[in-house]
A and B are shown apart, each in its own frame.
Chain A
Amino acid sequence: AQSVAQPEDQVNVAEGNPLTVKCTYSVSGNPYLFWYVQYPNRGLQFLLKYITGDNLVKGSYGFEAEFNKSQTSFHLKKPSALVSDSALYFCAVRDYGGANNLFFGTGTRLTVIP
């Protein structure tokens, strides 16, 4: 069965500091991994994905994520946080070897403090 864990409900970071939002996953086959961002009263917006290849994936708005197979992790990172990055972030996994549906984590609320 597929599952995604986002261990932190809330992450606070000062503007200009690096940020990390954590995600670990569990799938039976090869994982397809995704990060989405949700701003208030909006739908989810795609940030980046890992399918195969380079473990470091670069996405929208300066975000990047590193796939670590041994730790089954896919943490989202940004070198310098902006106040406008404050939002709800979701990690998701799709098991290409199994069911083809997309499972989401519970979300992490990122607050960037000016």
Chain B
Amino acid sequence: DAGVIQSPRHEVTEMGQEVTLRCKPISGHDYLFWYRQTMMRGLELLIYFNNNVPIDDSGMPEDRFSAKMPNASFSTLKIQPSEPRDSAVYFCASSLAGGGGTFGSGTRLTVV
């Protein structure tokens, strides 16, 4: 298995633009997590899905953030409109029930 695949690896965008981050989880994993990592706030759980259904989105910072999982092999995290304070590394992880997460390499987002 290729592991959790995230794209793009790097994204630079202007303030106000829409940004879409993508994640392909490991086949067979029924949990998918989106995390954000910054120097100031560390690693934050944004949202997680179980069997494609959002279970807890309390970590999503604002309505500008949205996440979807249309099927078991794909998820997106969208920011619209983006702001400079959204600049961070965004990680996707997937797991089986009760297991730890396998993380992707992350997307480094810079909003200028």
Q: List residues of chain A with CB under 8 Å of any chain B CB.
A: 32, 34, 36, 42-46, 49, 51, 90, 92, 94, 96, 99-104, 106-107
Contact = CB atoms under 8 A, between A and B. Distances in A.
B contact face: mostly helix, strand, loop, or mixed = strand
Given A32-B98, A44-B91, A100-B50, A90 B104 contact: no
Contacts, number: 57
Interface of B: 31, 33, 35, 42-43, 45, 48, 50, 55-56, 91, 93, 95, 97-106
Contacts of A96: 98
A103 B98 contact: no
Contact of A43 (B33, B42, B55, B103): B103
Nearest to B47: A101
Contacts of B35: 104
Contacts of B95: 102
Contact of B98 (A42, A43, A94): A94
Nearest to A104: B43
A61 to B, nearest CB: 16
Contacts of A101: 33, 45, 48, 55-56
Given A100-B98, A101-B33, A106 B48 contact: no
B31 A100 contact: yes
Contacts of B100: 32, 34, 36, 46, 49, 92, 94, 102
A contact face: mostly helix, strand, loop, or mixed = strand
A43 B56 contact: no
Contacts of A36: 100, 103
Nearest to B102: A46
Q: Which 8 A-B pairs have the closest CB atoms?
A: A43-B103, A34-B100, A44-B103, A104-B43, A106-B42, A43-B105, A101-B48, A43-B106
A100 B33 contact: no
B42 A107 contact: yes
Contact of B45 (A32, A44, A102, A107): A102
B25 to A, nearest CB: 13
B36 to A, nearest CB: 11
